Amino acid sequence: MKISTKGRYAVRLMLDLAMHNTGEAVSIKDISKRQGVSDKYLEQIISVLNKAGYVRSIRGAQGGYMLKKDPKDYTVGMILRLTEGSLAPVSCVDDDDMVCERENGCVTFYVWKKLNDAINGVVDSITLADLVEMQMQMSDNYVI
Q: What is the 3-state secondary structure (H, E, C) of 45-109?
A: HHHHHHHCCCEEEECCCCCEEEECCCHHHCEHHHHHHHHHCCCCCCHHHCCCCCCCCCHHHCHHH
d(CA 123, CA 118): 9
What is the model's pLDDT at position 143? 52
Residues 14, 79: contact at Cβ < 8 Å? Answer: yes
Range of the domain at 19: 5-140
Residue of 139, 141, 142 whose CA lies nearest to 19: 139
104 pLDDT tier (thresholds 50, 70, 90):
confident
94 pLDDT tier (thresholds 50, 70, 90):
confident
pLDDT in tens, 11-69: 999 999 999 988 899 999 999 999 999 999 999 999 999 999 999 999 988 889 999 99
Q: Which domain CATH number covers 31?
A: 1.10.10.10
| 25: helix, strand or coil | coil
- What's the N-to-C CA distance of the chain in angstroms? 37
Asked if pLDDT for residue 100 goes beyond 90, the answer is no
132 pLDDT tier (thresholds 50, 70, 90):
very high
95 pLDDT tier (thresholds 50, 70, 90):
low
Asked if pLDDT for residue 97 goes beyond 80, the answer is no
What percent of the chain clears pLDDT 90, i.e. is strictly above it? 70
Count how many domains the chain has.
1
What is the model's pLDDT at position 30? 95
On the CB side of 87, CA atoms within 13 Å amount to 21
